[in-house]
Structure 1
Amino acid sequence: MSLYILILFTTAVVINGQLNCSTYNPCGRNGYCFDIDNGEWSCECKFWWSGSTCKDLTNSGVQVIVLGCLLGLLVILFYGLQIFHKIRLKKKQPKEVKEKAIVYDTTLIDLAFKNARRSARLSSCIVGVLTMILAAIGLISKWSLIQPIHNEIVNKYETNQSLYYVENSFCDKTDYDYFNVVTFPISCFLILLFIITTKRTSLFRDKLWGYGAPPMPVDFISHIDRTFAAVIFAICADELLNIIQQVLDGNSKGGDGVIVVYLLRLLQVLVMGFRYYPFLAAVYMNTIFSLSCATLYAWFDFSMTIVNQGMCQVDFYPTYDDYLDNSSDIDMMFSYYGTGPNLVVIQLCTDIPRYLCLAYINIKIPMLLFKRLYQRFNRRNLSPEQRMLLQLTREQKAFFHTIRPDSVEMLYVQNLFRSADHRPRSHTLWGRLIPKKIYEWRDDFRFSARIVCVYSSMLLLLYFVIIQACIRVLPYLQPLEDTIQTAVDALSVVFIPDPQDNGQNNGDPTSSLNFPIPKLVRPYLFAVFITLIVIVLQLLVLLANMRRNLLQLFRGEDCEIPRRQRSRYVSYASGNIHFAGYFIGYLIWGFILIAAFSVVICVAIDAFITFGNVRFVEKILLKVIPSVLFVLFKQYLNKILAQYVFLQHRGEVLALNNRRILMIFIFFNFFLDAFLGFISSIVRLIKSVIGGIIYMCRLDYSPLGRKLETMDGGFSSYCGFLHTECTHRHPVMLVFVSLLYTQTKIKELAMYDRNYIDNFKGHVFELKLQSSSRYVRKWKLAVFLIRNPTIVFFRKSFLSQLNMEDLHALNDLDNDDKKNLQRRLSIYTRRMSAARASISSETNIHTIEKQRF
């Protein structure tokens, strides 16, 4: 019955002369229907379909299907044989006796409670609770300041008035072109006080009683105050994002030139550094005076930040100057998010990490001050070790901590001659929960403060970028759809001309559009989150690779990082300086490229899901699919022949088999691969572009290749950073130097207080007063030099006889330099000949004396 009605309808339409593509599509799903001027229609077939109604396959289509089937059979055959071979080998292997599992004294639950009790100290719990309370108070205070502004703007929006608010007079007095004129002088004054109270260590130590040196904010190559420094740098990431947005906007006031505007942005960065410099310097100095000043400054800065962001620098609501510059988008925000409290909630949610970091600073510094005061007034009740540590600087305390049995460096030395299987498992809960195949948590390694600071700033920067990309861009996507559609149509028509199309789509979005654009909200959000996942995974992989490369440099391996060369020391130092800045810059640019690439892919997929076909993509696939199928067919054919015909023992041994057949196959394959090489070159170019986009934020990866990787600025800075870290943070060197320095320092303290020796008896700092016999030490030295003869050339008596060039040749690690190798060999030969001559002369003298007697 339905078929009969359809026939009657089609007949009626033909009689009336109204048969067109909008009422009837004779092409089906295999073609596109187009109306012609004389009232007729025609079909444009997809892929390899042909015929008036696109129901027949062409010869090319049949051949592509056959090639695809053959490729599928080859893939199934290749992997099926591999699986069969593995199962067969597994059955032939003798059954191994299972070793008894090592029973640990503590279960995972006991370990979790033990680590929780160890890590969750009373001071840490107090700092965490007070931080959350103070952050909540700050957010509530900001909400109370923003709410009147929000109500005023909403009232103006509903009454069709100009959308802006008048700033308080407080803002004009405190801010001048984004510069805080109140906190900046105070920070400069505190820095001056810290300079006056800091002792010099090397330059002009006899001038001004040794005082007057700029304090160190952070020791980036140590483990001191990593958490506090990471929080400071995380806050700086937010302000850095605001400065970058101002640079991208390019808005200048008063007709300022480009250079002046650029210098003003650089000045903003310097002012930002001066603002947080007193916090880091006070914590590093760790004195009562510095912590007291930093506490007062932190509370004042926190109050000023709440008032300034709640009244002067509100995120979405424009001021009068913004209204005059037409730089406000509040009307778009109201039309998309509504006039309710959504914008206020978005601002407060965005500020949660920022206020948590600010609250941590305002709680941590007073806690350090109270701890320092407690140590000062209870000095008599402290242990001798604690009293001795109070007299030392931060660097000296770090040296004393290095030789403790539980220190990272000492654990590395203990595990130095252990294999990976015999190395003890991590004592931390996370180290036991994470599988080793994903990441092996090691207790004998710890990242430096610089790495922690860089990663904290980048993660918070990603958070703010994602929030801004989702909140500010979404209202503009709907108006942009028509503009993007027009641009895509103009671009696609250039590559896919359509003479049959008269520009009328007759209500069908796919009848005249080569690339129909769907609703952009869904693919845009998917693209943003895909970009975030890719970036975070790349950062985690880079962190793991960074640890592996550092451990390789500690062992002297150069399989991934080029060996250190004396001629490139200046380049290493320069790269170490640029490391953090390059890392952040590569991250931002990589985020932009991956986001753009992801948006294109997600829009194409969404267009296929929504409309069912995309002509522009289909035309590309029409050209690409045969070439890809042929290349894959040839590759799998070569793999099967190589593994089961041309190699012995199914490819387990690199030894040729069937030599005559191989030579014949290579002869005919010699010219055939020329065509495949052309296709492979195009694939290589596409892979390099995609790989360069995805790996943009990876400094350990150079898209230029191993031969040209030193020309890559990012990879060079990465190598410079690693070589600098290895030189100054080598665990064996730190343990050795710490042992020498600790014994020397204890001897100095023992001269003033003999009680130190008795109190430290049995401790790690124990001083051995009974020196061994001179002859025993000489005998041990002789045995050691016999077992390690090359160390003879590095002794003080030997090195004192060499000039500076010979010393450079001995200390240089560049074994690829032929001149250096020849010079070292000549030094060894010369010294060995001199040693033999001295030995022979002594032997002749003894022989003559014996003959005399």
Structure 2
Amino acid sequence: MFPSVIPACAPTIPDGLYHSCMAPVSLAVLIVLSLLVKHKSPRKSCWNGAPGLLSPVNFLEAEEHWGLVAAVFGILFSSVCVLVLDPDPLPFIASSSPRTREYWKIMALFYYPAFYYPLIACATIRHRAGYFIGSLLSWGHCVVHIWQKVDCPQSPKIYRYYSLLSYGPIILCLVVLSIWYPRLLIRSFTQEKPAAREVVGSSYYTAYLKTVLAKRTHTRSTRKANLLSRAQMYLSSYIYTPQEGFQVPLKLVLSVTTAMVAVYQVALLLFVVFIPNVQIVRAGMTKDVIILLVQFGIIPSENPGGLPGDMEQELNTARHYLWSLEVCYVCSLVLSCLLTLSMLMRSLGTHRANLKALYRGAVLDVFSCVRMLRPSQQALVCWVSFASFQTAFACLGLLTQQVIFFVCTVGFSFLVVIPLQMGTNMHLFKIMENMWPFWLTLVLAVVLQNLLSHFCFLKKHHLQKELTHRRALCIMTYLLFPINVLVGVLAGVWRMVISALYNAVHFCQLDISLLNRGVEAFDPGYRTYCHYLKVEASQSHPVMKAFCVLLLQLPGPERHTRLRPTDVEEGIQLMQPVKGLLKASRSKQMRARWGLAYTLLNNPSLLACRKAVLSDPTANGTQSCPDKP
């Protein structure tokens, strides 16, 4: 179990050789992909020219290949986690001195995103060549990583299998990419080639608009929910279930994915740092150590001054104590992971409710005050760092929960469970036994106040409750003041415990503030989340995108075709996509038009510029016609 016992393993393909070969290949792939991207109207700008710089993914659009993007982000974050504890941050620079190691770590933070950049850029260009290159790259990375771990499954770092387990998410994500890219390549040959002007995610936007404009039938349930159904509803709130017509934004998918990878990496590190070392200590317990522990009173003994040969029972007791520490640590770690993952799943439902509320213009249903849903400098910075903040908060929340739950489980085990099991160290029960008059007095005082308030000081009168016997009420308030001070001390302790547990459990949730409503702006996580919602609601509104998609589908001015009313009837086309149902009545057409107009007018992204749009006929959609007088 000791790291020094395990010899250093040199794989057949070392990391230095692997990165030295794959880094130039990645750069060459980026150049080839950039040459494939040709714009019809080259510009002088470096970002929009031909060949253009590749964008990894459009985070403001409904991305179809969200699983591929999430897998690349999982690989990137896992590589950064492995980098933190690696003595050589850059693989092709070995034996770095401690003075320059931190500088190499900073360089590695920029190197790994560039190294894995082609894995996500191959899907961005939406070309068969890109899918083919992506398949080759993902297969190459996957085969090399699997070969390295099969060749050297053990390593002397922290724990013999820590390196193998820490690379598990990387290998899993690479396997996903190795399957996803060939699937895209095969689909590109079997499906028809999409139109050049087809907007990415247009199918989602039209489906969302169709769901919004669909006629709903409200059914009221007269059956009262029992306790079991309420419990099922409460548990189902922690399980995210997809809704028809709504797609979670890509940023949220990435934040939850990287947060789950972070929970795994942190939990693995906490486990391998503590459990193997405690097992080593438990296996190496000697009777000399037991005598020392008995002298300090840590382990009870019937004969503290006995010979070492009489310490067999005390040795078993010490090993049982260490085994109890292991059980408490594992239970607290499992509980922390489950709570963190459940909070992340619950936050997805909250994100969906908040986004749908902002889509329909209900700002006060999300924020505590009226806010303008428009992008700003601070909002853009928060939008860029939202997924990173969610990942970091998940790590810190898991660490906080682990410390709190471990202390609580150890205290409960060694103060309650083990004394009841072994009949020794009954200190807590002795304190409770000596203080029973004090606890009984507090309980009687609280019960007395509740009984008098219910039967004596409240009087029902015409379905209302009024105060009565006010003189006796004032006398009781004065006489019970010292007792209520002690009750207040216990209530204050309980308030601190509840606040600590609530904040520790909900620390990873950015959709709620851990501070009061008046000072919630000082909560960096909640402030980042609010600005993220503002950018998403103003720039990625599905109805706005559906409206733009419908405008792009109209015949261009170069065709010189006169549009008929049925050609621009977006609502009818969305509500009734079948050609036989396009001959609708006049009332249905008007209802569809008013439904679409009402939705667009309540679009938060158009509220800021409605006056300017309505005052300018050209901006409002009416094009100037020089042929008409």
Q: Same fold (TM over 0.5)?
A: yes
Aligned pairs (5 A) from 1:2-151: none
1:668 is aligned to 478
Shift in CA distance, 692/669, structure 1 to aligned 2, threshold 3 Å: farther
Question: Are residues 759 and 579 of structure 1, via their aligned partners in 2, closer, same or farther at CA, if it must alter by over 3 Å?
Answer: closer
Matches within 5 A, 1:548-627: 548-555=353-360, 556-559=362-365, 561-563=367-369, 565=371, 569-607=376-414, 608-609=417-418, 610-614=421-425, 617=428
Distance apart, 1:519 and its partner CA: 4.1
Structure 1 length-normalised TM = 0.54
Q: In structure 1, which of residues 731, 746, 751 is the aligned counterpart of residue 559 of structure 2? A: 751
* Residue of structure 2 equivalent to 1:4: none
Q: Which moved more, 1:755-764 or 1:434-443?
A: 755-764
Q: 1:757 to 1:199 in 2, by over 3 A?
A: farther
Q: CA RMSD in A?
A: 5.3
Write the letter of the residue equivalent to 1:717. Answer: T
Asked whether 1:742 is paired with 2:550, we answer yes
The structure whose Rg is larger is 1
Q: Please name the residue that 1:475 is paired with.
A: 276
What is the CA distance between 1:358 and its match in structure 2? Answer: 1.7
1:450 aligned partner: 251
Which one-letter code corresponds to 2:51 in the other structure? G
Shift of 1:709: 1.8
Quote the Cα distance in structure 2 between the aligned partners of 1:651 and 1:243: 72
How many residue pairs get matched?
558
Which residue identity does 1:274 align to in structure 2? Answer: A
708-717 vs 162-171, which deviates more? 162-171
Aligned residue identity for 1:700: D
CA positional deviation for 1:286: 0.6
Distance in 2 of aligned mates of 1:191 and 1:211: 14
Contact 2:72–2:116 (CA under 8 A) maintained in structure 1: yes
Corresponding residue for residue 211 of structure 2: 411
2:496 is aligned with 1:690: no
Which of these residues, 287, 290, 296, is aligned with residue 127 of structure 2? 287
1:156-195 aligned at under 5 Å gives the runs 163-165=6-8, 167=10, 170-171=13-14, 174=17, 180-195=19-34
**In structure 1, what residue type is equivalent to 2:474?**
I
Give, in whole Å, the separation in 2 of the partners of 1:546 and 1:191: 35
In 2, Cα distance between equivalents of 1:408 and 1:709: 33
More deviation, 441-450/657-666: 657-666
Deviations 1:484-509 (A, max 9, x none): x99xx99x99xx99xxx997599586
Q: Counterpart of 1:222 in 2: which secondary structure?
A: coil
Matched, 1:306 2:116: no
Distance 1:692 1:751, change over 3 A: same
Q: Does structure 2 retain, via aligned residues, the 8 Å contact 1:590–1:693?
A: yes
Tell whether the 8 Å contact from 1:688 to 1:703 is kept in structure 2 after alignment. Answer: no
Structure 2 gap segments, 5+ residues each:
222-230, 602-606, 618-629
| 1:585 aligned partner, one-letter code | A
Per-residue deviation, 1:362: 1.5
> Equivalents in 1 of 2:463, 2:322: separation in Å?
52
1:307 is paired with a residue of what secondary structure? helix
- 1:292 Cα deviation (Å)? 2.6
Are the equivalent residues in 2 in contact too, given 1:474–1:521 (CA < 8 A)? Answer: yes
- Within the candidate set 355, 364, 367, 2:180 is matched to 364
- Structure 1 residues 184-333: aligned runs within 5 Å: 184-198=23-37, 204=43, 210-224=49-63, 225-246=65-86, 253-257=95-99, 260-311=100-151, 314=152, 316-318=154-156
Shift of 1:418: 6.7
Give TM-score, length-normalised by structure 2: 0.71
State whether residues 757 and 766 of structure 1, in contact with CA within 8 Å, keep that contact through their aligned partners in structure 2. no
Give the deviation of 1:477 after TM superposition.
0.8
1:588 CA drift (Å): 1.4
Cα separation, 2, equivalents of 1:529 and 1:624: 36
**What letter corresponds to residue 550 of structure 2 in structure 1?**
T
Q: In structure 2, do the counterparts of structure 1 residues 223 and 625 end up closer, same or farther at CA, with 3 Å as the change threshold? A: farther
The answer to whether the 8 Å contact 1:410/1:731 transfers is no
With over 3 angstroms needed to count, the CA separation of the structure-2 counterparts of 1:461 and 1:763, relative to structure 1, is: same
* Deviation, structure 1 residue 186: 1.6
- Are the counterparts in 2 of residues 233 and 454 from structure 1 also a CA contact under 8 Å? no
Question: Partner amino acid for 1:181?
Answer: S
Q: Secondary structure of the equivalent of 2:98? A: coil
1:350-370 Cα deviation digits (max 9, x unpaired)? 766544432221222122123
Question: d(CA) in 1 for partners of 2:435 and 2:365?
Answer: 38
User: d(CA) in 2 for partners of 1:255 and 1:348?
Assistant: 26
CA distance in 1, matches of 2:24, 2:188: 27
User: Contact 1:194–1:214 (CA<8 Å) still a contact in 2?
Assistant: no
Q: CA deviation at 1:199?
A: 5.1
Q: Return 5+ residue gaps in structure 1 as ranges.
A: 1-153, 319-326, 331-342, 380-386, 423-433, 802-853
Q: 1 CA distance for matches of 2:408 and 2:452?
A: 37
Whole-angstrom distance in 2 between the partners of 1:661 and 1:686: 37
> Post-superposition shift, 1:733?
3.5
Corresponding residue of 2:225: none
Match of 1:402 in 2: 205
Which of the numbers 521, 533, 554 marks the counterpart of 1:722? 533
Shift of 1:720: 1.8
